[in-house]
Structure 1
Amino acid sequence: MKWSLNELGQIGSTPFHFEEVVNVADSIVKRNSEITAISPAQVSGFFVVDSLGLLGSFKVSVKVTLPSTRSLKVVEIPLDFEVSEYYVSHRTHDLSRFDAKDVVIILEDDILDLNQAVEDNILLQIPTRILTAEEEASEDLPQGKGWEVSEDGRNNQKQRDKDTIDPRLAKLKDFFDKKN
């Protein structure tokens, strides 16, 4: 669904409510090849003109299927999140009226594409750590001959390095402990 910025700017202070089912499966898989499937997104919210400009506030519910980051088994992740963004014309050069924490989207050709906004925000919401239910419940991490996975890998390696004594220097270990 697309709207022109001029058209939405004319709604004034009366919120323009919408509820849509947005299918972004094809375009989102092109942008992130790890996504194996995605359900149509349920999107509901409103657009309103406030003192800063056109504010879009909407809720997105979608299920994304991705491989586990540990075992590559398929995991379906439900994503439910809210988006609050300001939309401005590409002709707007002064953005100083916005706070640093405001999300401001500059619209090319002054066209607001809801599908694009939903797609961008879904990609931002995908977690970096994806585990199957079994992997979440298990305390055991994968390991093999000479290797193991650890959650805090650097600290464990430093501790092992500290505890391991170089055999060439083993005799010097007790050098200062001798009482003469």
Structure 2
Amino acid sequence: MKWSLLELRKYQDMPLTFEETLDLKNELMERDNQIIDLAPVNVKGLVTVGKQEYLLHYTANTVITLPSTRSLEPVELPLQFSVDEVFMTPEQYQQKDELVPEEEILILETQTLDLSDSVADNLLLEIPMQILSEEERNTNELPSGDDWEVLSEEDYQRQQESKEQTTTDPRLAKLASLFEEEEE
């Protein structure tokens, strides 16, 4: 869904409310090859037109299917997030006051405000780093195979500490017995 900036100027006195269902599956699958599936995204929000900016506020709901970071099995992950964005034209940006930090401003490159682009970008930002199925969350068992296994950091540290305690450098083994003889 796109709005032209001329069209949005009609809403300077009153915000423009919207409720849309966007099909972003193909676009997001091209941008991120990890995405297996994406349900239609329900978006509800408003656009407020100010003298120096365009404020876009919305909430988005969808279900995204991604591979588990542990087993690569498909996991359906419900996502619900809110977004507040400030858009300015290049002319408005040059005349902006210092109250709005520069990092929070998105500059419009065209004379349109595109909801689909904003939702797609923010949806990609909402994907968590670790994705686990319900079964994987409820168990502490990590995958393993022939001559390999996945360890947690704590298990790895314990394993390294026990190796240090049990292994003695063969070059120093004779010295260790020397101290035992002196104590007797």
Larger radius of gyration: 2
1:136 paired with 2:99, answer no
Amino acid at match of 1:34: Q
Aligned to 1:118: 119
- TM-score, scaled relative to structure 2: 0.83
> Residues 139-176 of structure 1, C-alpha deviation per residue, up to 9 Å, x if partnerless?
11112344321232664464345334244134445766
- TM-score, scaled relative to structure 1: 0.84
The answer to which structure has the higher helix fraction is 2
Percent identity between the aligned chains? 35
Q: Tell me, what secondary structure is at the counterpart of 1:55?
A: strand
Distance in 2 (alpha carbons) for counterparts of 1:52 and 1:84: 16
> Residues 97-124 of structure 1, C-alpha deviation per residue, up to 9 Å, x if partnerless?
4136x63221111311111111001100
Distance in 2 (alpha carbons) for counterparts of 1:4 and 1:175: 87
Amino acid at match of 1:88: M
Aligned to 1:41: 41
Q: Which runs of 5+ in 1 are unaligned?
A: none
Distance in 2 (alpha carbons) for counterparts of 1:170 and 1:93: 74
Q: Is the contact made by 2:52 and 2:88 (CA closer than 8 Å) also made in structure 1?
A: no
The Cα RMSD (Å) is 2.6
Q: Which runs of 5+ in 2 are unaligned?
A: none
Distance in 2 (alpha carbons) for counterparts of 1:140 and 1:128: 20
Q: How many residues are treated as equivalent by the alignment?
A: 179
Greater CA deviation, 156-165 or 132-141?
156-165
